[in-house]
Amino acid sequence: MKKTIVLALGGNALGDGLAEQMVAVKITARAIVDLVEQGHKVVLTHGNGPQVGMINRAFEAAAKTEAHTPMLPMSVCVALSQGYIGYDLQNALREELHLRGLATPVATIITQVEVDKNDPAFLSPTKPIGSFFTHEEARVMMANGHQMMEDAGRGWRRVVASPKPVDIIEKETVKAMLTAGQLVITVGGGGIPVIREGNHLRGANAVIDKDWASAKLAEMINADMLIILTAVEKVAINYGKPGEQWLDNLSVSDAERFIQQGHFAKGSMLPKVEAAVEFAASRPGRKTLITVLEKAKEGIEGKTGTVISQ
Whether residues 51 and 190 fall in one domain? yes
**pLDDT of 271 strictly over 80:** yes
Q: Output the CA–CA distances (angstroms, integers) from residue 300 to 2, 4, 22, 258, in the order listed.
A: 10, 11, 27, 23
**pLDDT of 16 strictly over 80:** no
210 counts as catalytic? yes
Q: How many domains in the chain?
A: 2
Comparing CA positions, the residue from 80, 77, 108, 76 lying closest to residue 92 is 108
pLDDT at 14: 80
Query: How far is residue 22's CA from residue 16's CA, in Å, rounded to a whole number?
Result: 10
Catalytic residue among 272, 287, 299, 305: 272
107 has which bridge partners? 184
Whether residues 72 and 175 fall in one domain? yes
Residue 214 has, within 13 A of its CA and on its CB side, a CA count of 35
272 counts as catalytic? yes
Out of 143-147, 173-177, 207-211, 270-274, least confident range = 143-147
Number of residues in the chain: 310
249 counts as catalytic? no
Out of 200, 223, 246, a domain closes at 223
Out of 223, 254, 270, a domain closes at 223
Whether residues 207 and 304 fall in one domain? no
- Residue 256: CB atoms within 10 A of its CB come to 15
Whether residues 282 and 207 fall in one domain? no
**pLDDT of 36 strictly over 70:** yes
> Which CATH number do you get for residue 181?
3.40.1160.10
Whether residues 91 and 194 fall in one domain? yes
Catalytic residue among 12, 53, 155, 295: 12
pLDDT at 5: 97
First-last CA distance in the chain: 19
- Region 112-137 average pLDDT: 91
**164-177 tens-digit pLDDT:** 999 999 999 999 99
Report yes or no on 144 lying in a domain: no
Query: How far is residue 265's CA from residue 233's CA, in Å, rounded to a whole number?
Result: 16
Out of 223, 240, 260, a domain closes at 223
Please provide the average confidence, as pLDDT, over all residues in the chain: 92
Catalytic residue among 171, 210, 216, 287: 210
Question: Secondary structure of 22-67 in the HEC alphabet?
Answer: HHHHHHHHHHHHHHHHCCCEEEEEECCHHHHHHHHHHHHHHHCCCC
Whether residues 79 and 173 fall in one domain? yes
What percent of the chain stands above pLDDT 70? 99
Whether residues 209 and 235 fall in one domain? no
Whether residues 50 and 85 fall in one domain? yes
Query: How far is residue 216's CA from residue 230's CA, in Å, rounded to a whole number?
Result: 18
| Residue type, position 84, single letter | Y
Report yes or no on 120 lying in a domain: no
For 201, the domain range is 1-115+168-223
Catalytic residue among 3, 53, 91, 127: 127
Report yes or no on 146 lying in a domain: no
Report yes or no on 149 lying in a domain: no
Catalytic residue among 11, 91, 155, 164: 11
Cβ contacts of 153 within 8 Å, gap of 6 or more:
none
pLDDT at 23: 82
pLDDT at 19: 80
Q: Look at phi and psi of residue 112 and say left if phi exceeds 0, alpha if psi is from -120 to 50, else beta.
A: beta
Tell me the pLDDT band of 11, cut-offs 50, 70 and 90: low
Tell me the pLDDT band of 63, cut-offs 50, 70 and 90: confident
pTM for the full predicted model:
0.91
pLDDT at 165: 98
Query: How far is residue 72's CA from residue 39's CA, in Å, rounded to a whole number?
Result: 41
**pLDDT of 67 strictly over 80:** no
